[in-house]
Amino acid sequence: MLYRPYLLDAVLDEEGKVADQKHPHMIRAGMIDERYLEEARKGMRQAVTAGTARSLQEVPVAVAAKTGTAETGGKFPHAWFVAFAPYDNPEIAVTVMVEHGGEGSSIAAPITKEILKWYFGYHDKTAADVNPTSTPAEVLPGAASNAPQD
């Protein structure tokens, strides 16, 4: 199935209550035989468990991912990385592309890892623990010590 991508899950009011909730919208079904899709999913999971995306093992849920490098004809290729999580019941997909960034596993994967660690760290908190406008530094344990100081 192909779903329309969206950037926002919900809009919250001043009190942190959901004012507008977004829902997945399927664009097309049956594009790829499920057997082939399952093999691709397994391969993406193996990239995290035993391949070029092992750094994503630090994310608190099972992740599947694919690294990539796009040649540009210039000195440095574009680095890209795509991941989804949790593996068994995906709720987020992330794609990172760094123009002329080099290898995907060394440049784009760490960015993806931080996004996923923030996302799942935020979702592990209760509404009482997290202000809806919290930043990763305010939500993730230890992140504040790495945040730039004013």
- Hunting for tokens 């979702």 — which residue is that? 123
Does domain 2-21+28-140 fall under CATH 3.40.710.10? My reply is yes
**Terminal-residue alpha carbon distance, the chain:** 46
pLDDT single digits (tens) 65-98: 998 888 888 788 888 999 999 999 998 999 999 9
Strand ranges (DSSP E) for the chain? Answer: 2-3, 10-12, 18-21, 26-28, 64-70, 78-85, 92-98
Which amino acid, one-letter code, is at 54? R
Judged against a pLDDT cut of 70, whether residue 100 lies above it is answered with yes
pLDDT at 123: 60
Distance CA(85)–CA(94), nearest Å, equals 9
Read off the pLDDT band of 138 (50, 70, 90): low
Q: Which pTM does this prediction carry? A: 0.70
Domain boundaries, the chain: 2-21+28-140
Residues 98-119, mean pLDDT to the nearest whole number: 87
Question: What integer pLDDT is reported at residue 140 of this predicted model?
Answer: 46
Separation between Cα atoms, residue 80 and residue 69, nearest integer Å: 6
Share of the chain above pLDDT 70, in %: 81
What was the pLDDT predicted at 93? 92
